[in-house]
Chain A
């Protein structure tokens, strides 16, 4: 029960802080709508055009590839934690693992995925 109480107190504190910050600025803040009120302040540039842009599919290729290989590298971190326990066997296994990843990268490279500017003819017809 005491754990729950602490939780409730914490939750209430969060709530009060958040509501307080918004509420106070709502009540004592000034309200006006001028020419450059909505523009970037102190840093950044003014936005141009719409956010619904179409990117080339090649960017997604690269993005997905990055995500995948990034995730795979997580395993290497875990292996690094147990480097001493895993010993030579672990080292060989990890070499093999990296080799497989390398193979995949080579495959994608040969496939031309990194050539973002080059249009590849897609063999698909509806």
Chain B
């Protein structure tokens, strides 16, 4: 490993360094403000480094384990951005927790590091390392506040995620048995898919989603929905681009999984009365939409010049941004000992808290794919891809699902516009500043990408070309 390779790993090492600073600081003197400042500064420095010095990183791989091409760098930066969002929304949530608060920040940073490692991994060893760093910190985060629902969700996630990791390891072992190395190849693919589909919550590996989303503390749910899903999604694309997928059976599996996810996600979301559960099922459906893009890989690599992988990346990015925003709103009204996730709690939000209700509405419209939001662009690109490949039946399924999905998003909006009818929900008078910053960042990103998606697409087009090179 030479200096330039070491230099290219600085974005990863900075986050690790931040954690190493946080641990003795937390051990020496418990000061939440200080710990919060250290963690946000770490993330901001990381972002700044990638922005300013990112172009100086010339090597495409740091070692056998890590890629540091434009794609990896972009997503390391993107996850840092998301982590910043999660940190900012969790400040107020944590502030009045009587126990140790600093470890929460450490775990968030650790999970982010795992996501970054996943995005950069080029080898099954680094992949598994990243995945486990991510998962293990998630176990801790979900059960962090130790209340009964948190513990229940934590244990559920622990058991199921370990089972999926076991499948995944088995797949990796098969790959190793066949190749003698741990590079990505098509061997053991079904088992590896099981592991990845579990993390992405695709049907039939989706059963944990609603319970864990509901039980986990709101900022942690935001973390799962943004960074965890995003990192595994990026890895999935990397794996598919490099592992050879020439078996017809794989494509059929992907199609079935995609269709089942869309239908199950949307159908189950119709019946929920808890916003977190609705969003959990909607996330299943959304990942189903992404799997449609992956299914279309089968025939074509691009859509009128836009690579399908770019479309997938774009959808992933806007989806994670929007989800972080929605869970940010839920976090704004939740505290560690009280989650405001029931649909009824949001009655009359328009009239009591017009600003955050507006935020929420725009996020929901983005999830529903209404124009002027980034969600529309995502849907637009998926439709384009479908038409380009002339998969009419798939398009029909997409349309049906989009319409069904509309119902439950509208239901939330409708509830917010109802009269509160004498309900006394203890709402904060003003949204705290860190939370507002985070929501503002997400909102402006979503609106900007809704109007000018070309800027980001241009970037993605640029870096997704490196995806196929080993």
Contact = CB atoms under 8 A, between A and B. Distances in A.
Interface residues of B, number: 16
A100 interface: yes
Given A123-B99, A124-B99, A106 B146 contact: no
A107 B23 contact: yes
Given A104-B23, A107-B24, A123-B99, 19 more contacts: A89-B1, A100-B20, A103-B20, A103-B23, A103-B24, A106-B24, A106-B27, A107-B26, A107-B27, A109-B27, A110-B27, A110-B28, A111-B27, A123-B97, A123-B98, A123-B100, A125-B337, A126-B147, A126-B148
Nearest to A110: B27
A124 B24 contact: no
A107 B100 CA distance: 13
Contacts of B98: 123
Nearest to B29: A110
Interface in B146-195: 146-148
Nearest to A104: B23
Interface in B1-16: 1
7 closest A-B pairs by CB? A123-B99, A124-B146, A110-B27, A107-B27, A123-B98, A107-B23, A103-B23
Contacts of B145: 124
B147 A124 contact: yes
Interface of B: 1, 20, 23-24, 26-28, 97-100, 145-148, 337
Nearest to A89: B1
Contacts of B28: 110
B217 to A, nearest CB: 13
Contacts of A110: 27-28
A109 B28 CA distance: 10
Nearest to A99: B20
A109 B27 CA distance: 8
A78 to B, nearest CB: 14
B247 to A, nearest CB: 31
Interface string A83-126: 00000010000000000100110110111000000000011111
Contacts of A107: 23-24, 26-27
Q: In the complex, which of the residues B23, B97, B147 has the most CB atoms of chain A within 10 Å of its own CB atom?
A: B23
A38 to B, nearest CB: 39
Contacts of A104: 23
Contacts of B146: 124
B220 to A, nearest CB: 16
Interface string A35-69: 00000000000000000000000000000000000
Nearest to B97: A123
A112 to B, nearest CB: 11
Contacts of A100: 20
Nearest to B99: A123
